[in-house]
């Protein structure tokens, strides 16, 4: 294939995505992210962002970032072990570790990078000893792409790691796999799961996973990206919600969702592990750290969550309000109590049409369909925020009801 053929092939692919209606369009926003956004100038209700606590444009977060910009500058211009580290980076590591119930933490440019860093940095590493070992990762079927890629990466590096997939949230299936492997002599066993699964809003069965990890001497890895700041009585995530805060070996997460919504990720765990990753994580040692203003904004986000329980409580109330209202209107939703509320529609075309018509009604929500979710389970994924007012929620339910009636989704 010569280069001109390559570009022709790429264009052909793009045309095909458009034809198959899988082309991902980006809606231009005329202002900041918030409970309402400006698309057509009227202030659409945003039901498609991970801005769970409304901190993405919170005055205190913006002010903290502005001050850090003046005090600590715009960028760091290298990685920390070369150009130095700032006290705010160390402070954020300490604060996030305590928040998620771990001893120490290490920052990364994103949670995607953090997940790749964890698997590739720890597993398939001979630790300077005799090779001839094999590690094993037990991965939930619905784990995030960054966990899947992280697992692929460490398999690719040394071929000293194998992975096994267990059915979504099925601790019984996981036990079967662990028992099958009991006498295989694996060196390190890791159980890897999302705390909250982003397509469903379902929670991983952490108490069962903690017990299995102890019984089989495995490391339990939980990605809390959709959970930190979101669930648990005080927003400390899935382990808090399910009564096992402080019992998870490794917690990763993002500062790009509830915790300010800018960017950055972390790995939290035992001090030895974190210190080792500071030496061996490639995304840490070869890629810039979070910029000072984002670090300070993320710190302010944690301050807000810790000092004002009303924010997390408001998210909980709004979620309950929307869940009961939308179910009362006759829609089928996936049960739960996470602010991710999947409204089940079935066919992709219906989800797309409904999303379009809702935007015209002033409600911004996106559809998901195969292959992101199973065939025939196309849905609109609603995400509720503490930034929504009670009347925003009522208005959103009203929009859903009008469009749902028009399209015959509800009677
Ligand atoms: C969003 C998300 C990520 C990626 O986070 P970034 O910081 O944006 O890279 C990783 N894991 C899960 C489970 C996520 O939902």
* Number of helical H runs and strand E runs in the chain: 15, 13
Q: At 25, which CATH number?
A: 3.90.1150.10
How wide is the angle at C-alpha 338 spanned by C-alphas 334 and 344, nearest 5°? 25
Domain endpoint, select from 259, 288, 307:
307
Verify that 37 and 127 share a domain, yes or no: no
- Establish whether residue 110 lines the binding site of ligand 1, counting it when its CB lies within 6 angstroms of any ligand atom: yes
- Establish whether residue 258 lines the binding site of ligand 1, counting it when its CB lies within 6 angstroms of any ligand atom: no
Hey, which of 144, 147, 199 would you mutate to test ligand 1's pocket, going by the most ligand atoms within 8 Å of its Cβ? 144
Rounded to the nearest whole angstrom, what is the distance from the C-alpha of residue 181 to the centroid of ligand 1? 30
Which pLDDT belongs to residue 158? 57
164 found inside a domain: yes
Verify that 168 and 302 share a domain, yes or no: yes
Which pLDDT belongs to residue 132? 77
71 found inside a domain: yes
- Establish whether residue 253 lines the binding site of ligand 1, counting it when its CB lies within 6 angstroms of any ligand atom: no
- How many domains are contained in the chain? 2
Q: Which two tokens stand for residue 159?
A: 């071929």
Q: At 216, which CATH number?
A: 3.40.640.10
Q: Are 238 and 195 in contact (CB under 8 A)?
A: yes
380 found inside a domain: yes
Nearest to 252 by CA among 280, 299, 219, 287: 219
Verify that 295 and 149 share a domain, yes or no: yes
Verify that 299 and 315 share a domain, yes or no: no
Which pLDDT belongs to residue 160? 80
How wide is the angle at C-alpha 315 spanned by C-alphas 314 and 316, nearest 5°? 90
Q: Cα(366)–Cα(352) distance, rounded to whole angstroms? A: 8
- Establish whether residue 266 lines the binding site of ligand 1, counting it when its CB lies within 6 angstroms of any ligand atom: no
Which pLDDT belongs to residue 157? 59
- How many C-beta neighbours within 10 Å does residue 391 have? 10
Angle between helices 171-180 and 206-215 (to 10 degrees): 10
Q: Cα(163)–Cα(150) distance, rounded to whole angstroms? A: 11
- Using CB atoms within 10 Å of the CB of residue 23, give its burial: 0 to 12 exposed, 13 to 18 middle, 19+ buried: exposed
Verify that 243 and 321 share a domain, yes or no: no
Verify that 73 and 207 share a domain, yes or no: yes
Domain endpoint, select from 256, 275, 307:
307
Verify that 282 and 175 share a domain, yes or no: yes
- How many C-beta neighbours within 10 Å does residue 170 have? 15
Helix (H, G, I), strand (E, B) or coil at 85: coil
3 found inside a domain: no
User: Which residue numbers are catalytic?
Assistant: 198, 226, 257
| pLDDT averaged per 10 residues, the chain (length 411) | 97 94 88 94 93 98 98 95 95 98 98 97 83 90 96 75 95 98 94 97 98 98 98 98 98 98 98 97 95 98 97 98 98 96 95 95 94 92 98 98 96 85
Q: Cα(211)–Cα(231) distance, rounded to whole angstroms? A: 22
Domain endpoint, select from 307, 336, 366:
307
Angle between helices 390-406 and 348-360 (to 10 degrees): 130
Its domain, for residue 318, covers 15-46+309-406
Which atom of ligand 1 is least distant from the CA of 198? 15
Q: Which residues, other chains included, contact 367 with Cβ-Cβ below 8 Å and sequence gap of 6+?
A: 345, 348, 351, 352, 354, 355, 378, 379, 380, 381
4 found inside a domain: no
Q: Which two tokens stand for residue 123?
A: 């597993």
Verify that 224 and 342 share a domain, yes or no: no
Which pLDDT belongs to residue 156? 60
- Establish whether residue 241 lines the binding site of ligand 1, counting it when its CB lies within 6 angstroms of any ligand atom: no
Which atom of ligand 1 is least distant from the CA of 223? 13
Which atom of ligand 1 is least distant from the CA of 50? 1
Verify that 173 and 290 share a domain, yes or no: yes
Which atom of ligand 1 is least distant from the CA of 257? 1
2 found inside a domain: no
Q: Are 36 and 51 in contact (CB under 8 A)?
A: no
317 found inside a domain: yes
Which pLDDT belongs to residue 305? 98
72 found inside a domain: yes
Verify that 240 and 382 share a domain, yes or no: no
Verify that 302 and 314 share a domain, yes or no: no
Query: Could you tell me where the beta strands, DSSP code E, fall in 114-199?
Result: 135-140, 161-166, 189-194
Verify that 336 and 228 share a domain, yes or no: no
């Amino acid at each position: 294939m010569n280069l001109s053929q390559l570009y022709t092939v790429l264009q052909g692919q793009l045309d095909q995505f458009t034809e198959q209606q899988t082309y991902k369009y980006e809606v231009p926003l005329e202002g900041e992210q918030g409970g309402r956004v400006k698309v057509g100038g009227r202030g659409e209700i945003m039901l498609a962002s991970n801005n769970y606590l409304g901190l993405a444009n919170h005055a205190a977060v913006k002010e903290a970032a502005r001050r850090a910009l003046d005090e600590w500058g715009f960028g760091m211009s290298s990685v920390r072990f070369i150009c130095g580290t700032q006290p705010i980076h160390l402070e954020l590591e300490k604060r996030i570790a305590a928040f998620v119930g771990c001893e120490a933490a290490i920052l990364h440019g994103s949670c995607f990078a953090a997940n790749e860093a964890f698997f590739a940095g720890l597993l398939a590493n001979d630790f300077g000893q005799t090779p001839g070992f094999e590690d094993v990762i037990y991965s939930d079927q619905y784990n995030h792409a960054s966990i899947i890629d992280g697992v692929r990466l460490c398999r690719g590096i040394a071929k000293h790691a194998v992975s096994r997939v267990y059915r979504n949230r099925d601790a019984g299936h996981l036990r079967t796999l662990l028992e099958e492997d009991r006498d295989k002599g694996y060196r390190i066993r890791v159980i890897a799961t999302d705390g909250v699964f982003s397509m469903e809003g379902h929670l991983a069965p952490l108490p069962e996973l903690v017990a299995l990890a102890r019984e089989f001497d495995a490391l339990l890895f939980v990605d809390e990206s959709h959970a930190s700041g979101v669930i648990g009585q005080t927003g400390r995530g899935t382990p808090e919600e399910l009564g096992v805060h402080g019992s998870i070996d490794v917690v990763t997460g993002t500062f790009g969702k509830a915790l300010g919504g800018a960017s950055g990720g972390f790995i939290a765990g035992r001090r030895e592990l974190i210190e080792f990753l500071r030496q061996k994580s490639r995304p840490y040692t070869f890629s810039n750290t979070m910029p000072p203003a984002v670090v300070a904004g993320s710190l302010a986000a944690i301050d807000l969550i810790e000092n004002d329980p009303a924010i997390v409580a408001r998210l909980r109330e709004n979620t309950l309000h929307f869940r009961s209202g939308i179910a009362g209107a006759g829609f089928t939703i996936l049960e739960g109590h996470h602010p991710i509320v999947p409204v089940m529609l079935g066919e992709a075309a219906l989800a797309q049409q409904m999303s379009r018509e809702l935007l015209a009604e002033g409600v911004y929500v996106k559809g998901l369909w195969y292959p992101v979710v199973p065939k025939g389970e196309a849905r609109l994924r609603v995400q509720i925020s503490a930034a929504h007012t009670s009347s925003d929620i009522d208005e959103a339910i009203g929009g859903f009801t009008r469009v749902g009636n028009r399209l015959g989704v509800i009677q």
